[in-house]
């Protein structure tokens, strides 16, 4: 089967020269649900942004749905991240129904209505008068209503209540099974996720520790235990190979900032 996501020798540096990805190669077949697991800063969001065609990468290094994702971003790719909710536009005084129509909701009424029900969204809500979790639900209706072939999810279920999150995960599983769509999902929350992934990908310092491995919820360890062990190994690996300055500093002289703030500390 032709992969829906094919990444070859991908490396990426941010503008300040921080190396975010190092020589990543992997392929994902249609119908897969791949969980990206890695510590903060491991490169998950950067990889998802690149797969969404949002960052310039060498031609041919990231091919989704048989098309170079940056040069000719194919139809059917949806990237949902937490940044969306920070945009003042989606916190403005606008009715949810108007908002959804403004992004083409009228074209996908059937799917939109299924999602309104799963995500328990009221079309009469006003975007500036709803909670963070409610706004997240509107984002998910918006992002998922047009049928997608590849879904790139960056921690967007974080503020959903557990019932809505559960229903959403069931919907996503159904979509991948019935339409052979593919999901790459980066998260740190493993509660209730046991039956979701078909594969786990372990990212460490911008690289894949190994190819995505098949996951079965009936195995000996829980997802949480696997993730915890991987992250412990990563921390040990980092401390042995590239000790960092993180944590308290021993024997350090007083910093200028301490001297300054102590001088103007009127609280005592
Ligand atoms: N805009 C940026 N400019 C410079 N460096 C960045 C930028 N965004 C991320 N980085 C760095 O790139 C590396 C990968 O970051 P990335 O956000 O992809 O990690 P992540 O695995 O998604 O982390 P988290 O779990 O915290 O979301 C980190 O070293 C991070 O400090």
Best of 10, 11, 15, 18 to mutate for ligand 1, by most ligand atoms within 8 A of CB? 18
265 exposed, middle or buried (CB, 10 Å; 0-12, 13-18, 19+)? exposed
- Shared domain for 46 and 28, answered yes or no, is yes
Q: Where are the beta strands (DSSP E) in 194-264?
A: 199-204, 207-208, 213-214
| Ligand 1, pocket residues at CB < 6 Å | 14, 16, 18, 20, 38, 40-46
Does residue 9 sit in the same domain as residue 119? no
Range of the domain at 119: 86-147
The average confidence (pLDDT) of the chain is 93
* Alpha carbon of 97 to ligand 1 centroid (Å): 35
Q: Tell me: the pLDDT tens digits for 20-40?
A: 999 999 999 999 999 999 999
Statement to judge: residues 222 and 152 lie in one domain? yes
Whether the per-residue pLDDT at 250 is higher than 80: the answer is no
Residue nearest to atom 11 of ligand 1 (CA): 20
Q: How far apart are CA 132 and CA 162, in angstroms?
A: 15
195-243 pLDDT, tens digit per residue, is 999 999 999 999 999 899 999 999 889 999 999 999 999 999 998 887 7
Neighbours of 160 (CB within 10 A): 22
CB-based contact 33:176 (threshold 8 Å): yes
pTM confidence score: 0.92
- Give the Å distance between the CA of 198 and the centre of ligand 1: 25
User: Which pLDDT belongs to residue 87?
Assistant: 83
DSSP lists the bridge partners of residue 207 as 204
Same domain, 218 and 237: yes
**How many independent structural domains does the chain possess?**
2
The H or E element that residue 23 is part of is strand 19-28
pLDDT tens digits, one per residue of 67-116: 999 989 999 999 999 888 788 888 889 999 999 999 888 999 999 999 99
Banded pLDDT at 268 (limits 50, 70, 90): low
Q: What is the ipTM of this complex?
A: 0.97
Work out the widest C-alpha separation in the chain, in whole angstroms.
69
């Amino acid at each position: 089967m032709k992969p829906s996501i094919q990444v070859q020798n991908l490396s990426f540096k941010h503008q300040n020269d921080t190396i975010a990805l190092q020589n990543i190669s992997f392929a994902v077949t249609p119908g897969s649900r791949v969980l990206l697991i890695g510590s903060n800063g491991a490169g998950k969001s950067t990889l998802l942004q690149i797969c969404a065609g949002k960052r310039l990468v060498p031609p041919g290094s990231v091919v989704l749905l048989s098309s170079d994702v940056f040069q000719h971003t194919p139809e059917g790719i949806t990237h949902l991240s937490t940044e969306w909710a920070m945009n003042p536009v989606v916190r403005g005084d606008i009715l949810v129904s108007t908002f959804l129509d403004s992004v083409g909701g009228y074209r996908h009424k059937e799917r939109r209505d299924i999602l309104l029900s799963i995500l328990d969204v009221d079309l009469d809500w006003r975007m500036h008068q709803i909670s963070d979790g409610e706004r997240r639900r509107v984002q998910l209706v918006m992002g998922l209503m047009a049928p997608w072939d590849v879904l790139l999810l960056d921690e967007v279920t974080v503020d959903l209540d557990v019932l809505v999150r559960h229903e959403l995960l069931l919907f996503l599983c159904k979509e991948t099974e019935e339409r052979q769509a593919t999901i790459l999902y980066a998260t740190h929350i493993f509660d209730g996720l046991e039956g979701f992934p078909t594969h786990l990908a372990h990212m460490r310092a911008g690289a894949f520790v190994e190819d995505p491995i098949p996951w079965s919820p009936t195995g000996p360890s829980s997802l949480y235990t696997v993730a915890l062990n991987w992250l412990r190994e990563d921390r040990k690996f980092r401390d042995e190979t590239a000790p960092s300055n993180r944590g308290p500093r021993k024997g350090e002289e007083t910093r200028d900032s301490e001297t300054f703030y102590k001088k103007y500390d009127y609280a005592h």
